[in-house]
Amino acid sequence: MVHDDQKLALDTQRLEVYLTNLQAEVEAKVRRVHRFRQQMQDLDAAPSGKRDTDNRKRSARALIDQVEQMLATNLIVRDLLHDLRGAAEAVLADLSKG
């Protein structure tokens, strides 16, 4: 019984760690989306003209790079969700034994 309680406690702690990591990743993603939106608005508000076209192209390329980074972050969030599900399943298995 003590061993089962210890395993449950460890699995619950693991669940908490995964949840904390997931929250940090999601919050970082939200901050990145806000920055993206601001840069997009800045790009749209930039004055038009021949000289500004190069700057606007650079800005558009920077936005594309940010999207690529967000896609990579999405893979991290997906992996964390799989880990979180595994930890929750372990807690359920611990509780089912008791």
- Dump pLDDT digits (tens) for 22-64: 999 999 989 989 988 888 888 777 676 666 788 888 888 989 9
DSSP character string of the chain: -HHHHHHHHHHHHHHHHHHHHHHHHHHHHHHHHHHHHHHHHHHHHSPPSHHHHHHHHHHHHHHHHHHHHHHHHHHHHHHHHHHHHHHHHHHHHHHHH-
Q: pLDDT-derived band of residue 80, with 50, 70 and 90 as boundaries? A: very high
Structure tokens at 8: 């449950």
Please give the residue range of the domain that contains residue 77.
2-97
Measured CA to CA, the distance from residue 91 to residue 18 in angstroms comes to: 13
Q: What domain count does the chain have?
A: 1
C-alpha closest to that of 38 among 10, 63, 56, 2: 63
